[in-house]
Amino acid sequence: MVINRTIGDNDNDNLRQNTYNDSCNYRLFADSAMFSNGTVRCSRYQLRVNKMKTETTNRKILDLMEKRTVKFRDGAVHLSKTSKLDGVKSWSLLAKKTCPGSKNASVCNGCYALGGFYNMPTVIQPRVENQKNWKLASWVDEMVAALKNERFFRWFDSGDIYKLELAEKILAVCERTPWVNHWIPTQSWDIEKFQPILRKIDALPNAVVRASAKHVDRPIDSFQNSSVVLSGPDKASELNVTICHSFNNAGKCGSCRACYDKTAKTIGYVQHGKTMAKHVNILLSTIKA
């Protein structure tokens, strides 16, 4: 059973008014939705439908939730919130499939975005939608609207710049959101066709293109800003890079925003394997104590 119209057609809040004709299947789960003051929230898909007008509509939603499948018309933008970023939202694509720069990057063999929770349908689906939707004419407008309350924004928690047209649209979004500090990590920096546009984005005062080094412990200096994966914390001083302290902060950024800061030339991320070992050691020592 599906709803073939946009729910809350008369509402403007948080609803996209038929900006495109595509529609997708979403699953609503009773335990992830709330009814309060006429608000329905499906946290699993960051899908919100506010100010439900009528009891009839609410009844329909409840019926559909029991049947577990509902069809919504949604906007063209799916932002993610990862626990690491502590509230900073991101826009992502599927890893590897959209990472042309990964071909010569040994560091991508240990990519965190190819395993674990990144294989869940709830994580895959918005990335698949994003890959389709960025090509829409309305996408830049939608991104600008989606960022209206953000101060920091990370591009590509997974995936990368894989098309020139996408890079041009990212430039447009950054230009039109001067109140947002954009962090754009990329392995595509050494692909010639992307370089002029990446440098244009990087020239904006509110955007940092952070070129990701291809190999562990081998920083690069071809871009103003970069990052490198470190085999251990001690490598940071040896390589003269700013260490990312999330490895001893339960994997979270906390209040750090160094990656969005042009003055932090190269950030070193301690490799995840070591992080995990460290956490396990701490856990074991806690248990022993």
Provide, rounded to whole angstroms, the least separation between the CB of residue 265 and ligand SF4.
12
Q: Binding to ligand SF4 by residue 211, rule CB under 6 A?
A: no
Dump the DSSP string for 116-147.
GGGGSHHHHHHHHHHHHHTTSTTHHHHHHHHT
Query: Exposed/middle/buried for 77, CB within 10 Å: 0-12, 13-18, 19+?
Result: buried
Neighbours of 9 (CB within 10 A): 12
Q: Which is nearer to ligand SF4, 3 or 258 (CB)?
A: 258
Residue ranges in 36-55 that form contacts with ligand SF4 under rule CB under 6 A? none
Phi, then psi, of 181 in degrees rounded to 5: -95, 115
Contact code string over 246-275 relative to ligand SF4, x by CB under 6 A: x------x--xxxx-------x--------
Smallest distance from ligand SF4 to CB 111, Å: 16
92 is a site residue for ligand SF4 (CB under 6 A): no
Rounded to whole angstroms, the Cα distance separating 162 from 92 reads 12
Tally Cβ neighbours within 10 Å of residue 269.
Answer: 21
Residue whose CB is less far from ligand SF4, 108 or 270: 270
Taking the least distance from each CB to ligand SF4, the nearer of 40 and 270 is 270
- Residue 206: which of 226, 225, 180, 176 has the closest Cα? 180
H/E stretch holding 178 reads none
81 lies in the site for ligand SF4, by CB under 6 A: no
Q: Does 229 bind ligand SF4 (CB under 6 A)?
A: no
* Shortest distance, position 105 Cβ to ligand SF4, whole Å: 18
Q: Which residues bind ligand SF4 (CB under 6 A)?
A: 244-246, 253, 256-259, 267
